């Protein structure tokens, strides 16, 4: 009978594959560390360039704001106040004159159903040259007016719609009257 017996003080182990694999993983980790460090340095350089550009733009903005404040101060002087007021009034008139009634009615013709009447319309120019239409619509019943509101909101030319009030028919006026406002996308 043979017994496997190892009389060595340190038995033989197959450590070479484990050491090679550990070395390969270590090299891979060092390479990924080098890649991450290079990416961090590149990002830092790019952000430094971006910070310089932002700083330069902030300085330009400060100069423009200072110049605007100086010009506003000149315009607000008592001698120039009348000219400023007249200029603002004329600009408002020019904006209102810039609204093309032909285009407004052409766009409304595409949206309004045949059983809804346009009784009154008043355009208003709001901030940033946007046109806001306040209208009074008339109809024999309310469903066509509701259909008109949904058509306004789904139209490319018109935007958000608000229904302010509805007046039922009376002896002197046979139509429902609805006061409506809508954003209009005509550019001035």
Judge whether residue 169 has pLDDT over 60.
yes
Give 173's pLDDT tier (boundaries 50, 70, 90): confident
pLDDT greater at residue 98 or residue 39 = 39
* pLDDT recorded at residue 27: 96
d(CA 24, CA 31): 11
Give the Cα-Cα-Cα angle 131, 134, 136 (nearest 5 degrees): 150
d(CA 55, CA 58): 5
* pLDDT recorded at residue 7: 65
pTM above 0.85, yes or no: no
Are 176 and 169 within 8 A, CB to CB?
yes
The residue-averaged pLDDT of 51-78 equals: 90
pLDDT greater at residue 10 or residue 119 = 119
Neighbours of 49 (CB within 10 A): 10
Judge whether residue 187 has pLDDT over 60.
no
* pLDDT recorded at residue 171: 85
d(CA 131, CA 124): 6
Per-domain boundaries in the chain: 17-76, 99-184
The residue-averaged pLDDT of 118-137 equals: 83
Give 10's pLDDT tier (boundaries 50, 70, 90): low
* pLDDT recorded at residue 87: 81
Task: State the fold for domain 99-184.
Answer: Alpha-Beta Plaits (3.30.70)
Judge whether residue 97 has pLDDT over 60.
yes
């Amino acid at each position: 009978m043979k017994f496997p017996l190892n009389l060595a003080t340190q038995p033989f182990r197959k450590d070479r594959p484990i050491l090679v694999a550990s070395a390969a993983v270590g090299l891979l980790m060092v390479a990924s560390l080098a890649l991450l460090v290079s990416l961090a340095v590149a990002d830092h350089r790019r952000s430094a360039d971006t910070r310089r550009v932002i700083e330069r733009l902030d300085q330009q903005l400060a100069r423009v704001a200072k110049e605007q404040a100086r010009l506003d101060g000149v315009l607000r002087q008592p001698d120039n106040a009348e000219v400023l007021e007249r200029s603002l009034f004329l600009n408002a008139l020019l904006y209102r004159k810039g609204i093309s009634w032909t285009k407004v009615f052409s766009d409304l013709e595409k949206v309004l159903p045949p059983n809804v009447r346009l009784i009154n319309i008043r355009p208003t120019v709001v901030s940033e040259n946007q046109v806001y239409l306040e209208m009074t619509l008339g109809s024999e019943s309310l469903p066509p007016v509701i259909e008109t509101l949904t058509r306004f909101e789904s139209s490319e030319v018109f935007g958000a719609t608000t229904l302010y009030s509805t007046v039922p028919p009376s002896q002197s006026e046979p139509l429902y009257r609805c006061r409506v406002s809508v954003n209009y996308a005509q550019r001035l």
